[in-house]
Structure 1
Amino acid sequence: MSVSPTQRVLDPAQVRRYLTASLGPDAEVESCGPLSGGGFAAVWWIRLADGRDVVLKVGPPPHVPLLRYERDMIGAEAHYLRLVAARAPAVPAPALLHHGRHPDLGDWLLMARLPGRTLWDLTQAGADVGPLRAEFGLALTALHAVTGERYGYDGDRASGATWRDAYTAMIDDMLADAADWAVPLPVPAYRVRELVARHAEVLDAVRRPALLHFDGWAGNVLAVDGPDGEPRLSGLVDGERYLWGDPLMDLVSPLLFRRVEDEPGDPLVRAYRTVAPFPLDAGVRRRLGLYRLYLYLLMTVEMPSRNITADSDPGRVELLAKLLGAELDDLAG
């Protein structure tokens, strides 16, 4: 797959410039290299001469077009990390060492590197990840205990005084991005708006803007071996897509391409409900469907900006078209 245009192409000399700008001229790089797995920012691991392991995350060049919700994503992650450190310290997240802005270097973060393998890798290797998923579910409850002052995204991005207003604004921005990038959708944009408006009243059940990570797929969950040799949660990373809203929205990415309401016995869902119980009634099911709609719409609309096409990744294109179409059909039905 082609490198995303949003990812700067770095080399060790450039990495040293970012390190000096972050920690001063005495900071020395012992070794470094790129980290894979993300499609937005350029991310490198660095071993410092003093033995510390850190991660450098660099935002897109200023001339690269972005989706509307992606404005100032590096700054958003810096704010998220400060929020978690101050108000949800039980949630394992990287320590923010520096957030920098520079006319030539752009926006970047320097963070402590958390140990561990991803939940994705462990699952692919056939490990027993049930206890790890349960830990992750409990960590989400701690994150969701943090309350914001408005719904939606921070900054000048889509938001609202109510969750219904914020969600509708988020959908509108995503459909505007789809138009800008000429992204084909299963139904016309006006039809998506009609279907959202038909069901939006269920969002009024949300009365508190909870802090949501919203990117908790298995590649952003880290684990290390515990004393018993079983994987234990060591980190939840990549918080740049955080927003304020319904805690149920944060259960969609951890069960990516699946349905929360169909898997109440999943260890994450079961553990989450022990602390923050919710019914699986018609209103909750409709809210979960709306949140999957937004996620699949986002994943579809972002593809051109990442250089993802039917030729470069036909499986992804076909899968998202099927999933997005299914959610729209459910709303229509």
Structure 2
Amino acid sequence: MWMNMVIPPLGCEMILWLIERHDKACGKESRKKMHFWNRIVSRSAIVLPLSAGSNRFFFAKRKRDRVLFVEINLRTRTKPERNERMDSVTKKQLTAEEIERIAQTTFGCGCKTYEELSEGWANSAYLLALEDGREAVLKVAADSEEGRMRCERGLMRTETEVMRRIERSGGVPLPRIYAYDDSKRTIGSEYFLMERVKGETYDKARGELAPEIRDAIDGELGGYFRRIHEIEGREFGYYLPNAANAPLWEDAFIALMRDVMQDGREAGIELPMAYEELDAELERRREALREVRTPRLVHWDSWPGNVFVRDGRVEGIIDFERALWADPLMEHGFGKFWDTDAFERGYAAEDAALRSAAETDDSARLASLPEGSEASRKIRRALYALYLDLVMRVECHYRGFGPEHTEWARQNLQNGWERYSNL
């Protein structure tokens, strides 16, 4: 079977090299094991890892008496630009029949047209135009969480639960969820459908807006996230129950970091510092982390690509899948990638308004956020920036990003460690 091949554009030499590399790393016998990968085909493809434990594959599709070899994830990927498609091995591609089945199951009508929304990094997303005139956004998880980072487990359940929780609290613009199906009976994967948010993402629009409009939007965002942070949890850590969660923030944050570090170790990733050095640094910073007393709901992935704007206002906030019970200073608006202080001004204004309203209502006085001393906040912000840099570096392996983006993430972590070391 292996000698009778249809050669794709990669060329015969690459195919032979892939087979040789696979056999050397995993053994020829593993080629006999059939691994069905439903995002490509159903029951007609075998997937072979390029190395033992690798998340990079090529697959062989049987076609009569021939085999079609196609490489997966050897393409170069860079940091996303505007309108660039972001491919990842975690993205499940749906067929028209599967999308039609979802539409009929959820709305009782067919799907007239659909368009893949390609800018996301983890889950697949589609814009559906339904036959009854409505529109909906469909998000689809991968078939399995096997091979995911520890911080990327239960993402779809987290996203839907958090959105519904914020909707109940009110005061924050976000799309309404139409349905969430985790049974995997319809298409073999979790999925949910939500309202389409009008406008465009803030990362695309930001550069075209006047400075005063950007500041107004940033301030508006600061106010919305202060409202989100008013939602309290019972413990710190991941949104869903997890062994890493803890009643103290110092324990939970260090556990979050150690999860990413362990993912890095298992992937064989070399960091700009020794893993032991980073772990010791976390222990050294426990006192600063200890000043955070209350678990707050934090979006964490709240970069401008997850914010929709229209007519100079915030239209909606999306992608709550990485939400945490954490320190509000982990929010993107407090991070190193935000280039104005308008977010913090809006946050402080809403904080003052909430506390004033609580006093007027004769309720218990609300705590002012963020918590802690200025010295503690400075250290914590530096730690949270380092956590983000580490996640972006390690996820390159697990999502199968190419060498250019991986090099960007490696250098970004290197720069982040140097900045942190100069505190």
Q: TM-score, normalised by structure 2?
A: 0.70
Q: State how far apart, in whole Å, the 1-side matches of 2:411 and 2:318 are.
A: 25
CA distance in 2 between partners of 1:28 and 1:94 (Å): 22
* Aligned mates of 2:138, 2:192 — CA distance in 1: 6
Equivalent in the alignment of 1:30 = 112
In structure 2, the partner of 1:235 is 316
1 CA distance for matches of 2:233 and 2:334?
25
Show the counterpart of 1:121.
204
Aligned partners of 2:119 and 2:335: how far apart in 1?
16
Asked if residue 112 in structure 1 is aligned to residue 195 in structure 2, the reply is yes
Corresponding residue for residue 74 of structure 1: 156
The CA deviation string for residues 88-145 of structure 1, in whole angstroms up to 9 with x for no partner, is x111111111111215421111111111111111113244311111111100011001
Q: Look up the match of 2:379.
A: 286
Distance 1:245 1:108 in 2: 26
Give runs of aligned pairs for residues 217-256 of structure 1, distance below 5 A. Answer: 217-225=303-311, 231-250=312-331, 253-254=332-333
1:131 corresponds in structure 2 to 216
1:14 aligns with 2:98: yes
Judge conservation of contact 2:89–2:399 (CA < 8 Å) in 1.
yes
Structure 1 unaligned runs (5+)? 226-230
Deviation at 1:168, TM superposition (A): 1.1
The whole-number CA distance in structure 1 between the counterparts of 2:389 and 2:117 is: 25
Structure 2: runs of 5 or more not aligned: 1-76, 78-85, 352-368
Residue among 92, 96, 102 paired with 2:173: 92
Aligned-partner Cα distance in 2 for 1:137–1:157: 31
Which of 1 and 2 has greater Rg? 2
Residues 157, 6 of structure 1: alpha-carbon distance in 2 compared, 3 angstrom cutoff: farther
**Residue 115 of structure 2: SS of its match in structure 1?**
strand
**Structure-2 change in CA distance of 1:82 and 1:63 (3 Å):** closer
2:272 aligned partner = 186
Q: Which of 38, 45, 67 pairs up with 2:127?
A: 45
8 Å Cα contact 1:192-1:328 kept in structure 2? no
Q: 1:258 matched to which residue of 2?
A: 337
1:18 counterpart letter in structure 2:
I
C-alpha separation in 2, matches of 1:223 and 1:243: 24
The amino acid that maps onto 1:179 is R
Q: CA deviation at 1:316?
A: 2.4
Q: How many residues align?
A: 316
Q: How far 1:327 sits from its partner (Å)? A: 4.4
Q: Percent identity?
A: 27
CA deviations 1:14-47 (Å, max 9, x no partner) are 2222223333xx2221221011221100001111
Instruction: Give the Cα–Cα distance (whole angstroms) in 1 for the partners of residues 398 and 195 of structure 2.
Output: 29
Distance 1:317 1:323 in 2: 10
Quick one: distance in 1 between partners of 2:133 and 2:243? 39
**1:157, distance to aligned residue in structure 2 (A):** 5.5
Match of 1:177 in 2: 263
319 and 94 in structure 1: CA distance in 2 versus 1, 3 angstrom threshold: farther
